[in-house]
Amino acid sequence: MPPLFLRIHVLNHVGREIRLWIPLFLLWLLMLPFAVVILPVLLITAVVLDIDPFPALASALRILSGLRGSHVEVDSPDASVFVHVY
């Protein structure tokens, strides 16, 4: 299952902080029409190049699903950034 939410927390060392919750499921809905248009082009390209498209699509979905649960922390002298994918 692809990630549905992205939480970003930026903490400035001066004491100011920003917290953002980004609903990725809305982004997936916005990208759906583009995927419907691009998918036949990718399938035709895969047939022309003699690539089996189903394992390639399955791999892409596995990578996308693997993002869920990712936690990234970046610390610099000016600010700290925390990103968590739900």
Summarised one tens digit per residue, pLDDT across range 20-67 is: 999 999 999 999 999 999 999 988 999 999 989 889 889 989 999 999
The whole-angstrom separation of Cα 5 and Cα 27 is 10
Q: How many domains does the chain have?
A: 1
Q: Domain for residue 14, yes or no?
A: no
Domain range enclosing 40? 24-85
In this predicted structure, the answer to whether residue 73 has a pLDDT above a threshold of 90 is yes
Q: Domain for residue 43, yes or no?
A: yes
In this predicted structure, the answer to whether residue 68 has a pLDDT above a threshold of 90 is yes
- Residue 15: pLDDT band (50, 70, 90) is confident
Q: Domain for residue 11, yes or no?
A: no
pLDDT at 53: 87
Burial of residue 17, with CB atoms counted within 10 A of its CB: 0-12 exposed, 13-18 middle, 19 or more buried: exposed
